[in-house]
Structure 1
């Protein structure tokens, strides 16, 4: 068995073919291989936004799924759909129908997206990382794995959910996060982290503990390299849930980091309390290598972003 990292580009690679074709890549994790293998492509059809930024691996089936960005193009359009793409790993399967919103007027918040599974559901965190697109913040959603399933807002902490939060114009957390990793090795499958590694939004380069029961994010855990540098890029976050456990991040540039030092934060207070206190507030990101994903560092507008990340044991 080999641990593979999976990611998906966000640019149409076959403009002469109907629909939006986005490429899927994988690369060995242990040890890290810097040359990725293109394992296929997904036709995202006519969905409003083709950015499949939330990737997670189902611990029951060992298969990967993806969730698209919550919002469409522009500053005001709200994407009410959730495209859950099952089995982005080999072999491919068509996208499932979108889960039914519960309640029916639910709309997801945010332009950026992260996702991961616990034992019973696919969780999606969405937020706005750019101040020119509105409020910087995030919200957590739970997607059941039945077909078509349901999607609901996780917001059991604090005051009652407002109409704006439910209808996708305001977040439930003041902190922005666009990566999500859930620990499925420890009992309960409820230990989770969210990430925000972009510093240009004014509050980035951080980890957060996530309460999957309330939807609450903890106070920030500052992430830094051994030399004290910030990462400053959008990213995906994933646990290795096989053998020895590791927490890894893939930056949109193809850089892969291992995150350590967060263990001290797990016993700290901060979730389920009004005052969010998190240990000493630091974790370390160590560069493992740079995966040579096509056009990851190309000049704009030819850049392909790789913001989704999950790990599959094959």
Structure 2
């Protein structure tokens, strides 16, 4: 058995008249920092050309089945007319490759997801597929910076709902985030430790004005904690600016792995005190690990076709195979 990472690209030919061809790649997760990593294409998800927001930015591994599902981004990338026409869940995009597409039903019916970027992971009790969506800049459709968490049930076709204790009409319509000013586009849920409620979201952007951070996620209320700043192994603030993915390893000694759309893989350590802390008051001057800080160590770079320049690879998850 070995740990493999999976990612998925944008439409390969960028031709709206030719449907969407989204290639899925698989690669070994390094055990220590090294050089370049060679991926293998395991299949291609084909979606109809009429799906305007078909980028499958959220990848997640189901802890029960071991299979991967993908969730599309919340909005079309065509400001100033943002739309959220369909919540697409594509199952089994791992190896063996056998994708099946379902459309989640909105609850309530006027629910629209907030934001233009997405991350996803399975977790909770009972197990559900969680999707975090957000904006990293305020000029996307005129919406503010922020994030909202959504819950998609695993039934077919399943339902999607906003995770929030007291949602407002603007939050339900997707014009305001439930976490204003806190952008995240990667999501990792801890399925090894008891409770299945511990989760982190990632932000590897400097363009949103608050640097590179992790956030603890409350799966019951949808709230993000105060930021946990990411540092390099030398103690300097991490300074990268790219869309991200985030995933826990799902076997043995648990690891938290971050992903950039450029193919860079980071291992995140030093968050243990924050992981075990109660509540969401993180980022304050408490704990023994540097209070609100975690270390991001570059493990290597995955050599993906046309990475970043022509094709972005934003989704990320890990499977033990």
TM-score w.r.t. the length of structure 2 is 0.90
Asked if residue 294 in structure 1 is aligned to residue 305 in structure 2, the reply is: yes
d(CA) in 2 for partners of 1:297, 1:51: 14
Asked if residue 92 in structure 1 is aligned to residue 97 in structure 2, the reply is: yes
Residues 175-196 of structure 1, C-alpha deviations (whole Å, 9 max, x = no match): 1111000000001111000011
Name the residue aligned to 1:114: 119
Q: Secondary structure of the residue that 1:132 maps to in structure 2?
A: coil
Residues 105-154 of structure 1, C-alpha deviations (whole Å, 9 max, x = no match): 11111100000001510000000111211200010000000001100100
Name the residue aligned to 2:75: 71
Of the three residues 160, 166, 169, the one matched with 1:163 is 169
Superposed structure 1 runs of 4+ greater than 3 Å apart:
13-18, 30-33, 267-270, 275-279
Of the three residues 275, 291, 294, the one matched with 1:266 is 275
Q: Report the aligned-residue RMSD.
A: 1.9
Task: State whether residues 93 and 99 of structure 2, in contact with CA within 8 Å, keep that contact through their aligned partners in structure 1.
Answer: no
Name the residue aligned to 2:153: 144
Distance 1:306 1:104, change over 3 A: same
Q: CA deviation at 1:204?
A: 3.1
Name the residue aligned to 2:313: 306
Residues 162-217 of structure 1, C-alpha deviations (whole Å, 9 max, x = no match): 11100111100011111000000001111000011110121230000000011010
Name the residue aligned to 1:193: 200
d(CA) in 2 for partners of 1:3, 1:258: 14
Residues 289-309 of structure 1, C-alpha deviations (whole Å, 9 max, x = no match): 1111111143xxxx2111110
Name the residue aligned to 1:41: 44
Name the residue aligned to 1:56: 60
Task: State whether residues 210 and 218 of structure 1, in contact with CA within 8 Å, keep that contact through their aligned partners in structure 2.
Answer: yes
Alignment of 1:140-289 (within 5 A): 140-156=149-165, 160-174=166-180, 175-227=182-234, 228=236, 229-271=238-280, 277=284, 279=286, 280-289=291-300
Segments of 5+ residues of structure 1 without an aligned counterpart are: none
The farther-off stretch of 141-150 and 9-18 is 9-18
Distance 1:107 1:297, change over 3 A: closer
d(CA) in 2 for partners of 1:278, 1:84: 40
Residues 89-111 of structure 1, C-alpha deviations (whole Å, 9 max, x = no match): 12333433211111111111110
d(CA) in 1 for partners of 2:252, 2:279: 29
d(CA) in 1 for partners of 2:252, 2:149: 28
Q: CA deviation at 1:225?
A: 1.1
Segments of 5+ residues of structure 2 without an aligned counterpart are: none
TM-score w.r.t. the length of structure 1 is 0.92
Q: CA deviation at 1:250?
A: 1.1
